[in-house]
Amino acid sequence: MSEMFQRQRIGQSRKYLTDESKMTGRADNVLLPSTEQELREILRVYSSKGTPVTVAAMRTGVSGGSVPMGGDVLSLERMTGVVGVGRDERGYFLRALPCTTLDEMDRILRRRDFSGLSDVTEGAADALRSEPGTYFYPVDPTETGGSIGGNVATNASGPRTYRYGPTRDWVRRIRVVLADGTFTDVVRGETRAEGRRMSFSAGRNYFSFDIPGYDFNGRVKNSAGPMISEGMDLLDLFIGSEGIFGVISEVDVYLTPRRPLLSVILFFPDDASALEAVKDIRSDDILNPEFLEFMDGRSLDLIRSVKSRDPLSVPIPDLPAGADSALFFDLSMDDMDGKMAKLGEIAGRHGSALSESWCGHEERDQERMRKLRHSIPSVIFEYVASLKGGMPKIHKLGSDMSVPDEAADEMMAFYKERLEQEGLEYCMFGHIGNNHPHVEIILKSMDEFERARSVYEEFARKAIELGGSPSAEHGIGKIKTSYFRMLYGDDGLSEMRRVKAVLDPKGILCPGNILGD
C-alpha cells in the first residue's frame, strides 16, 4: 500500500541537513506533510518502524536543533498559514500552523487582513479589525523569517524579552502530535502537575510520570529546556522541549496593541561608559524601554570595515567618528519631554550627549537601526560559512549566557579577561538589558575553534555559578548539550530521559536534541 504522505530522497541537497548553526548532519529522506493527518500518519508509521525523525521548519535555529543525526527529516514547511483569530479573557490571539513565519503573522496584523480566517471565538476577527490601532505579537527573536512552531519549540527570545518576556509567556494553546501519531490540545491552565507528578491523556493513551526534580531558573532569561517546576503547566513541558516530546501542529499566541515607538541609538566614547549607562537606563522608571541592546566598539569597527568595502552592504548612514560603543533601545512616545530630559542626564553622566545619537519613529528609520544591530551576527555568520570549505567541522560559536543583574559586572569582566588571555579576536553585542550579550569570536583556524569551545565552556560554568543560564535564548539543540548536563547534572539529565521514554518510548523524535546521544 502506498504511503499517505510525501517522502523525497535528500541526495546531495544540503538544504535539509543544516541550519543557521552551519552544523551539518545526515539523513536519507525528507518527509513533507501538508496536513495534520499526514503528520500523524508519518509519526504512526515511523514509530512502528522505530525510525528517527528530526523536525524542521524554517531552519533558522543556531544550535543545530533541526540538523538531523540520521533517520529522516520531518519538514513542516507545507504546514503554514494563519488559520484563525480568537479572543479570551486575556485578549486577542492568532491561531497559526507551525511553519507560519513571524513575518507572515505581522503582515496580516498590520494590514488587518483577516479574510479567510476562522473565528476561533465568535466575532473575534471583526472585533480585532475594528480596534482603533493594530496589534502585534511582541516576541521579537530577531529572525522574523523563523516559524512560530520553531519559536515555541525552542521558547525563543530576543531583544523584546526585556519587556515582554519569552515566547512561553505568549502561548495560549498548542496542539501536539505525539510520537505514536496521537495528538492532544494543551491549553494553558488546564493541566498541571500534582507536585512533581504529571498526568494527561492523548487519544486513547494515558500518560502519568514524574517530572525532573530540578527547578528551572526563571530569574534570568533562560531557554535551557522546558520550564520544569513543581505544579508546572503541561504546556511548559512542550514549550522549549525542542521536539523531543512531540511535534507542534498548531499554535495559539496572544497579541498586544502596537504602540508608537521612538527607536534610539546612543553612542558612547567607550564600552565601559555604555555599560554604566545601562544600569541608569534599566533602573529608571520614566524611560522604561521596550528593549536594551549593546554594540561594543569592536562590533562598530566590524560594520565600519564592511561598509568601507561596500557602503550598501549595511544600508545605514556612516557611523559617527567618535562612536566606540552604542546602546540601542525603543521608547514609547508618551511623555517625550520627560524622557528626553532623563536621557540627556544619563548621556551626560557617561560621556555621551543627545547630539551623539540616532533616532527615528518611522518604520524605515527603525529598520535601518535594526539593520545595524542585526548585521553584526549576519556578517559573522557569513564569515564562518565562508570557512567551511577549508574547515568543514567549523561552525559558528557565540555565547548565549545570561546572569542576574547583580552578577553582570563580574560576568562581563570574566568574558574580557579570558578572551584577552587566549588572544582571541571577538566582538560583543546583544541583549544587555537582560545581562545577555552575545560574545562572538572571529575564528581564523581550527586551533582557535577548539580553544574558543573550551573558553565557552568556562563561560557557561561561570554563568551557572553566578546564578545564570548557559543558554538564554538559542535553546540547547545539539551544540549545547554539554551545557544542559552542566546545568542540571547527571541526575537532571536522567530524569529528563525518563520523561522522554514515557512520551517517546522508541526515541524517534529529534534524537540528539537537549539530551545528547
Partner 1 sequence: MRFAVAVKQVPDASEVSVDANGSLVRLGVPAILDPFSEYALRRIIAMKEEGDEVSVFAMGPPQASEALRRCLCLGADKAFLLSDPSFAGADTWATARTLAAFIGRYMSDADLIAFGRQAADGETGQVPYETAGLMSVRQFAYVTDLHKAADGFVATQDYGDVARSVKVPKGSVVSFYGTDPCGTLMSLTDRIRGYGIPIETVDRVAIGLGAYSVGLKGSKTRIVRTDSKSMLRKNRKVAMSSPGRAAEVLLEELEARR
> Is the separation of the CB atoms in 515 and 481 below 8 Å?
yes
Q: Pick between residue 270 and residue 318 the one whose CB is nearest to partner 1.
A: 318
Min. distance of Cβ 348 from partner 1 in angstroms? Answer: 12
Q: Pick between residue 79 and residue 281 the one whose CB is nearest to partner 1.
A: 281
CB atoms within 10 A of CB 95: 21
Q: Pick between residue 70 and residue 257 the one whose CB is nearest to partner 1.
A: 257
Min. distance of Cβ 151 from partner 1 in angstroms? Answer: 23
Instruction: Please name the residues in contact with 294: beta carbons below 8 A apart, sequence gap of 6 or more.
Output: 274, 275, 278, 325, 326, 327, 328, 428, 429, 430, 431, 432, 437
* Sign of the dihedral through C-alpha 149, 152, 156, 162: positive
Strand ranges (E), 258-391 = 261-268, 292-295, 325-332, 357-360
Min. distance of Cβ 306 from partner 1 in angstroms? Answer: 13
| Distance in angstroms (rounded) separating the CA atoms of residues 376 and 326 | 13
Q: Pick between residue 316 and residue 493 the one whose CB is nearest to partner 1.
A: 316
Min. distance of Cβ 302 from partner 1 in angstroms? Answer: 17
Give the containing element (helix H, strand E) for 451: helix 446-465
| Distance in angstroms (rounded) separating the CA atoms of residues 289 and 226 | 28
Q: Pick between residue 337 and residue 447 the one whose CB is nearest to partner 1.
A: 337
Q: Pick between residue 9 and residue 364 the one whose CB is nearest to partner 1.
A: 364
| Distance in angstroms (rounded) separating the CA atoms of residues 133 and 135 | 7
Cell of 487: 546545568
Min. distance of Cβ 209 from partner 1 in angstroms? Answer: 47
Residues of this chain that interact with partner 1 (CB under 8 A) are 110-112, 134, 264-265, 311-312, 315-318, 336, 340, 343-344, 353-360, 362-365, 368-369
Cell of 317: 548612514
Q: What one-character-per-residue DSSP string does 366-381 give?
A: HHHHHHHHHHHHHHHH
Min. distance of Cβ 309 from partner 1 in angstroms? Answer: 15
Min. distance of Cβ 273 from partner 1 in angstroms? Answer: 17
Q: Pick between residue 282 and residue 368 the one whose CB is nearest to partner 1.
A: 368
- By C-alpha distance, which of 514, 326, 480 is closest to 401? 480
